[in-house]
Amino acid sequence: MLRSRSRRNGPNGRLYTGFAVAKIAIVKIVGAPDIGAMAMDIPLTAILTVVFALVAAGSGYMGAKMPDPRRGPRMVPWRFLMLIAVLICLMLVVHVLTLLGLKHDQPMRF
C-alpha cells in the first residue's frame, strides 16, 4: 500500500516521503479528513477564547494567593500557566478579528 520512498507517488508527480506517505494512505483507507485542511470557524474560536480567558483569570487568582507554609510549597506553576493562557487567548482574539474581516492593508511601496 505504501510506495517506495524513491518513486514519485503523489499527484502531479510530487515526491512524498516517510510520514506524508503514511498519512495519505491512512486518509485514503479510513476516509478521515485531513487535519491540516480543517479551519476554525468563528463559534469555535470564540468559545476557545472565552475558555482560555477563564483559565488565565483562574490561574492568575491562584498565583496571587498568599503562600501557606503549613500546606507546603505550591506544586503547580500558576503564574506560568497564566502567561501561557494569556498568550493563547491573545492569539485567538487576533484570529477572531481576522475571521470577522479586520485585516490590515499592505504597506505602500515607493
- For 27, the domain range is 1-37
In a domain? residue 77: yes
| Contact predicate 18/5, CB 8 Å | yes
| Contact predicate 1/28, CB 8 Å | no
Handedness of CA 64, 65, 70, 76 (dihedral sign): negative
Q: Are residues 47 and 59 in the same domain?
A: yes
Q: Are residues 33 and 52 in the same domain?
A: no
Mean pLDDT for back-to-back runs of 10 residues, the chain (110 residues)? 51 55 55 62 93 97 90 90 97 91 81
Q: Are residues 65 and 86 in the same domain?
A: yes
Q: Are residues 70 and 28 in the same domain?
A: no
12, amino acid identity? N
pLDDT of residue 46: 93
Q: Among all chains, which residue has been given the C-alpha cell 477564547? A: 49
Q: Are residues 29 and 43 in the same domain?
A: no
